[in-house]
Amino acid sequence: YSLAKLVWLSNPKPSSKNNNSDSLRSTIQSPSFLSATNHGFFHPLLSNISGLRSASSDTEIFYQLSYMASFRAFLNSPVGPKTTHFWGPIANWGFVLAGLVDTKKPPEMISGNMTGAMCIYSALFMRFAWMVQPRNYLLLGCHVSNETVQLYQLSRWAKGNGYLGKKKDDAAASE
pLDDT, tens only, 14-24: 444 544 455 55
Distance from C-alpha of 170 to C-alpha of 167, rounded to nearest angstrom: 5
Burial 79-103 (b: 16+ CB within 10 A, else e): beeeeebbeebeebeebbeebeebe
Q: Which of 73, 49, 47, 70 is nearest to 61 (CA)?
A: 49
pLDDT top residue among 103 and 64 = 103
Q: What is the pLDDT of residue 45?
A: 46
Distance from C-alpha of 43 to C-alpha of 19, rounded to nearest angstrom: 26
DSSP-based three-state secondary structure for 19: coil
What would the mean pLDDT of 130-142 be, rounded to a whole number? 90
pLDDT above 70: percentage of residues in the chain: 57
Q: What is the pLDDT of residue 36?
A: 46
Q: What is the pLDDT of residue 76?
A: 85
What is the rounded average pLDDT for all residues in the chain?
74
Distance from C-alpha of 29 to C-alpha of 1, rounded to nearest angstrom: 18
